[in-house]
Structure 1
Amino acid sequence: MLHNAEQDKPASSRLMIGKPELALIGVTVLWGGTFLIVHHAMRESGPLFFVGLRFATAALATLCLAFGVMRGLTARELIAGASIGLGIFIGYTLQSWGLQTIPSSTSAFITAAYVPLVPILQWLILRRRPRLASWIGVALAFAGLILIAAPRAGLTLGRGEMLTVISTLAIAVEIILISLWAGKVNVLRVTVVQLAVTALLAFGLMGPAGETMPALSPFILIAATGLGLMTALIQLVMNWAQRTVSPTRATLIYAGEPLWAGIIGRMAGERLPGTALIGAAFIIAAVIVSEIRFGRRKPEKAAAA
Structure 2
Amino acid sequence: MHYIAHLYGLRSILPNCRRIVRPTQVARKTMTPATPCKPSSPRLRLSKAECVLVLITMIWGGTFLLVQHAMTVSGPMFFVGLRFAAAAGLVALFSWRSLRDLTLFELRAGFFIGVAIMIGIGLQTVGLQTIPSSQSAFITALYVPFVPLLQWLVMGRRPGLMPSIGIMLAFAGLMLICGPAGASLNFNAGEMVTLISTVAIAAEIILISSYAGRVDVRRVTVVQLATASILAMLMIVPTGEVIPGFSWFLLASALGLGAASAVIQLAMNWAQKSVSPTRATLIYAGEPVWAGIVGRIAGERLPGLALVGAALIVLAVIVSERKARVKTEAQVPDAV
- The TM-score bracket by the shorter chain reads 0.7 to 0.9
CA contact (8 A) 2:140 2:195 kept: yes
- Alpha carbons of 1:25 and 1:276: their partners in 2 closer, same or farther (altered >3 Å)? same
1:13 Cα deviation (Å)?
3.3
The one-letter amino acid of 1:60's match is G
1:248 Cα deviation (Å)?
5.8
**Are residue 97 (structure 1) and residue 126 (structure 2) matched?**
yes
Partner in structure 2 of residue 276 of structure 1: 306
1:238 Cα deviation (Å)?
4.4
The one-letter amino acid of 1:169's match is V
Partner in structure 1 of residue 96 of structure 2: 67
The one-letter amino acid of 2:252's match is I
1:123-134 alignment to 2 at 5 Å? 123-134=152-163
Partner in structure 2 of residue 261 of structure 1: 291
**Are residue 170 (structure 1) and residue 204 (structure 2) matched?**
no
TM-score, scaled relative to structure 2: 0.78
- Alpha carbons of 1:238 and 1:94: their partners in 2 closer, same or farther (altered >3 Å)? closer
Greater Cα offset, 248-257 or 196-205? 248-257
The one-letter amino acid of 1:149's match is C
Distance 2:83 2:327 in 1: 45
Unmatched 5+ stretches in structure 2: 1-37, 331-336
Distance 2:241 2:328 in 1: 55
Distance 2:321 2:328 in 1: 17
- Alpha carbons of 1:16 and 1:143: their partners in 2 closer, same or farther (altered >3 Å)? same
1:16 Cα deviation (Å)?
4.3
SS in 1 for 2:180: coil
Partner in structure 1 of residue 254 of structure 2: 224
- Alpha carbons of 1:275 and 1:284: their partners in 2 closer, same or farther (altered >3 Å)? same
Unmatched 5+ stretches in structure 1: 1-8, 300-305
SS in 2 for 1:157: coil
- Alpha carbons of 1:102 and 1:296: their partners in 2 closer, same or farther (altered >3 Å)? closer
1:296 Cα deviation (Å)?
8.4
Greater Cα offset, 169-178 or 182-191? 182-191
Distance 1:296 1:201 in 2: 38
CA contact (8 A) 1:251 1:288 kept: no
1:260 Cα deviation (Å)?
1.1
Identity of aligned residues (%): 60
TM-score, scaled relative to structure 1: 0.86
Residue in structure 2 matching 1:203, options 233, 256, 259: 233
- Alpha carbons of 1:10 and 1:55: their partners in 2 closer, same or farther (altered >3 Å)? same
Distance 2:306 2:235 in 1: 34
Distance 1:122 1:243 in 2: 20
CA contact (8 A) 1:150 1:156 kept: no
Distance 1:186 1:298 in 2: 26
* 1:118-148 deviation line (CA, Å, top 9, x unaligned): 1111111111222222112211111111111
- Alpha carbons of 1:46 and 1:146: their partners in 2 closer, same or farther (altered >3 Å)? same
CA contact (8 A) 1:57 1:229 kept: yes
- Alpha carbons of 1:96 and 1:149: their partners in 2 closer, same or farther (altered >3 Å)? same
* 1:145-189 deviation line (CA, Å, top 9, x unaligned): 111123327342111000100111111122233344344443332
* 1:63-116 deviation line (CA, Å, top 9, x unaligned): 123322212223332222222211111111110000000000000000011011
**Are residue 81 (structure 1) and residue 105 (structure 2) matched?**
no
1:242 Cα deviation (Å)?
5.8
- Alpha carbons of 1:216 and 1:292: their partners in 2 closer, same or farther (altered >3 Å)? farther
1:244 Cα deviation (Å)?
6.8
**Are residue 159 (structure 1) and residue 189 (structure 2) matched?**
yes
Larger radius of gyration: 2
CA contact (8 A) 2:217 2:266 kept: no
- Alpha carbons of 1:96 and 1:220: their partners in 2 closer, same or farther (altered >3 Å)? same
- Alpha carbons of 1:146 and 1:260: their partners in 2 closer, same or farther (altered >3 Å)? same
Distance 2:265 2:180 in 1: 36
More relative contact order in 1 or in 2 (CA 8 Å, sep 6+)?
1
